[in-house]
Amino acid sequence: MANLSKLATNDGHGENSPYFDGWKAYDENPYHPINNPNGVIQMGLAENQLSFDLIQEWIQKNPKASICTKEGIFSFKDIAIFQDYHGLPEFRHAMVKFMGQVRGDRVTFDPNRIVMGGGATGASEILMFCLADPGDAFLVPSPSYPAFDRDLRWRTRLQLIPVPCSSANDFQLEREALEEAYKKAQQANIRVKGLILANPSNPLGTLMSKDALTTLVSFINEKNIHLVCDEIYSATIFHQPEFVSISEVIQDPNVVCNKDLIHIIYSLSKDMGLPGFRVGIVYSYNDAVVACARKMSSFGLVSSQTQHLLALMLSDKEFVARYLEENAKRLAKRHMLFTKGLEEVGISCLRSNAGLFVWMDLRRLLSEPTLEGEMKLWRIIINDVKLNVSPGSSFHCCEPGWFRVCFANMDDHTMEVALQRIQSFVDQKNESLVKSEVLVIKDNKRRQKSLCLNFTASRLDESVNMSTRVMSPHSPLASLANGSNQDLNRTHQGLK
């Protein structure tokens, strides 16, 4: 066969990793309340499916926003030919309005710094192409979004250097860890060009405090390296404390910073739940980066039809305010339901107030506190419990036993089913832990009858009964249109 490039044949896309097994398990056996109630429930997909009704209602009330309706068709021609990589001015203005509103109007963004990218995926890659050369490195606090490996490295040929965070301090990023990682890179002759992180964090769902961000800024300023903040989850905060954007930090007169080093990545895929529309944004405080990124955006412009729709939607301040408030409420409710349900069986999650997922602590369920132990547990969860969750190692977490579990991509009933499965699984695990202890005792005291045995037997019976009960669905789902639109529902975007 004729030669293809290394890119075409290497594993840089990351899809040959074992983590895709979870995806495959789901694809082959997807849960459906009626057609496949024993199928795998998708909890590995960080999508926001809770607030579509609000957007749909807006679209219905605003037919002008579509260039194809009779109210909007007069714009069809101008929009259809508009391919200027500056983007529709009204789109850029609406984006800055929206981004400002999300930050409580504590910041004003400049529409001339808005550059489009093909989703945050495309936007991140564009930034890397602008900031670094092949072989250069970016520091990435871990645990981190798995697809950074592909988005930031694959075609750009950059290196990523993880800066590990641990549960000892709730996975907060420490300056010492940054200094350590930076020093090691220097010693290995690797040129560090910057630091990239998601804030709010994926997979943690936590926010960086203003102090933490200020420390970060001081670090990158001192080393003269770039800081890229992926704020894709900025409107998924559902509890105090409030979100502090990097944009707020650098406008503080007390914070010393070379603004040419600061860049933001944004997207509407999580906050508005519109991943299909491919709206990625690069926002840079560096003029040369804006100019370069804008030229590169040719490779992934947002469809003008979509720009037009969003220009109208996002500049509707009243709608946006209502949406942000209601969306946060629904996320809060879902988060609470899920975490409380987990607490009932003694499972705790990292305390979080943002994102579409929880960072679940299953360390005590590991057969051994190792990567193998984690993978073993993970396969059981996928194959036996039938939940596709994401193991911490896929996020480069250095401590085994943590799992990211998404809660906003399903309806209430499915959430309940998932919870019940987890609860039942944990109970069973507790049983077998006790059971194995009992067997040891039995071994040691062979001829002695023990009350424990009788106890155990009845508890085992209970668990069997419970599992039968749990597996049958309660009622058919009225809200989902899944059945008739299966061909739309396949996703192969990897862990998000």
Catalytic residues: 145, 230, 232, 270
Give the integer Cα–Cα distance in Å for 96 and 109. Answer: 5
1 binds other proteins (CB under 8 A): yes
- Smallest distance from other proteins to CB 465, Å: 37
CB 210 within 8 A of CB 175: no
5 binding other proteins? (CB under 8 A):
yes
Q: How far is the CB of 148 from other proteins (least distance, A)?
A: 13
222 sits near other proteins (criterion: CB under 8 A): no
Residue 412 lies near other proteins (rule: CB under 8 A): no
Angle at 331 between CA 167 and CA 119, to 5 degrees: 85
Q: Verify binding: residue 118, other proteins, rule CB under 8 A.
A: yes
Binding of other proteins at residue 6 (CB under 8 A)?
yes
Q: Which residues contact 107 (CB under 8 A, 6 or more apart)?
A: 99, 100, 245, 247, 248, 251
The region of 270-278, 358-366, 378-386, 394-402 touching other proteins under the rule CB under 8 A is 270-278
Are 237 and 200 spatial neighbours (Cβ–Cβ below 8 Å)?
yes
Whichever of 86 and 364 has its CB closer to other proteins, that residue is: 86
Tell me whether strands 226-230 and 192-198 are parallel, antiparallel or unpaired.
parallel
Stretch that binds other proteins, among 128-136, 138-146, 239-247, 464-472 (CB under 8 A): 128-136
**Using CA atoms, how far apart are residues 273 and 175, in angstroms rounded to an integer?**
34
Judged by beta carbon, residue 49 or residue 315, the one nearer other proteins is 49
| C-alpha–C-alpha distance, residues 250 and 277, integer Å | 30
Q: Which of 318, 309, 319, 320 is nearest to 88 (CA)?
A: 309
Q: Which of 102, 137, 165, 302 binds other proteins (CB under 8 A)?
A: 302
330 in contact with other proteins (CB under 8 A): no
Residues 36-75 binding other proteins (CB under 8 A) are: 47, 49, 52, 55-56, 59-60, 63, 66-70, 72-73
Rounded distance between C-alpha atoms, residue 55 and residue 62, angstroms: 11
Select 71 or 462, whichever has its Cβ closest to other proteins: 71
Q: How far apart are CA 282 and CA 265, in angstroms?
A: 5
Q: Is 191 in the site for other proteins (CB under 8 A)?
A: yes
List 299, 322, 461, 464, residue binding other proteins (CB under 8 A): 299
H-helix or E-strand containing 422? helix 412-444
306 binds other proteins (CB under 8 A): yes
For other proteins, how many residues bind (rule: CB under 8 A)?
A: 91
Does residue 337 contact residue 415 with C-beta atoms inside 8 Å? yes
8 A C-beta contact, residue 166 and residue 204? no
Structure tokens at 455: 């106890």
- By CB under 8 A, is residue 16 in contact with other proteins? no
Catalogue the E-assigned strands of 111-220. 114-118, 137-142, 159-164, 192-198
* Contact window for other proteins (CB under 8 A) among 163-171, 292-300, 433-441, 451-459: 292-300
- Which one among 32, 42, 94, 121 touches other proteins, defined by CB under 8 A? 121
**Piece of 207-215, 244-252, 283-291, 380-388 that binds other proteins (CB under 8 A):** 283-291
The alpha carbon of residue 363 and the mean position of all alpha carbons in its chain are separated, in whole angstroms, by: 21
Question: Does the footprint of other proteins cover residue 186 (CB under 8 A)?
Answer: no
Tell me, letter by letter, the H, E, C secondary structure of 244-260: CCHHHHHCCCCCCCCHH
Least distance from C-beta 4 to other proteins, angstroms?
6
Binding of other proteins by 7 (CB under 8 A) = yes
Asked whether position 221 contacts other proteins by CB under 8 A, the answer is: no
Pick the piece of the chain touching other proteins (CB under 8 A) from 303-311, 339-347, 392-400, 446-454.
303-311
- Which residue is associated with the tokens 């996020």? 395
